């Protein structure tokens, strides 16, 4: 991902999430040197992933696929790529948070071998207050 991708990334982010990341969030990730990748299909940006590498651990911060490309294996392909990227940087585990209600994402992560290791109460903003996050981990 580069600064030239941000407009397309933001269009997807705003179309998918009720509480999307901001331009500042993505810019901060790029400036901080986080592992920011895009998925391209049909000559356009259709997904992206952001992960933070700390020593031997990678924290998956955002994995998103455009609505028109969901349920077509793109999320799996992107997650495979992000896992390979983490392994190339000598990470030995990946952690993430996912909304408790995001069953499709939870199913995807479980299919890759992620296990639930915790719960962060009131982690995400929601229309009626806050929503819990399930913390998941996979040993790489």
Q: For 56-101, write each residue's pLDDT tens digit.
A: 999 999 999 999 999 999 999 999 999 999 999 999 999 999 999 9
Report the alpha-carbon distance of residue 27 to residue 4 in Å, rounded: 11
Q: For 9-43, write each residue's pLDDT tens digit.
A: 999 999 999 999 999 999 999 999 999 999 998 89
Decide: helix, strand or coil at residue 30. helix
- Residue 42: the pLDDT is 84
Catalytic residues: 97, 109
The CATH homologous superfamily for domain 3-139 is: Gcn5-related N-acetyltransferase (GNAT) (3.40.630.30)
Q: What is the pTM of this model?
A: 0.95
- Residue 65: the pLDDT is 98
Domain boundaries along the sequence of the chain:
3-139
Cα separations in angstroms, 136 against 21, 30, 67, 87, 108: 21, 24, 24, 18, 12
């Amino acid at each position: 991902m580069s600064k030239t991708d941000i407009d397309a990334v933001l269009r997807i982010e705003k179309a998918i999430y009720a509480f999307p990341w901001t331009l500042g969030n993505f810019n901060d990730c790029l400036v901080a040197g986080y592992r920011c990748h895009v998925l391209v299909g049909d000559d356009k940006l259709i997904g992206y992933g952001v992960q933070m590498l700390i020593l031997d651990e990678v924290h998956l911060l955002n994995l998103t696929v455009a609505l028109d490309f969901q349920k077509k294996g793109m999320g799996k392909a992107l997650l495979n790529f992000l896992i390979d990227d983490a392994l190339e940087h000598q990470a030995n585990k990946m952690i993430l948070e996912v909304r408790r209600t995001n069953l499709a994402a939870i199913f995807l992560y479980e299919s890759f071998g992620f296990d639930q290791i915790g719960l962060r109460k009131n982690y995400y903003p929601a229309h009626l207050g806050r929503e819990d996050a399930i913390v998941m981990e996979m040993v790489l």
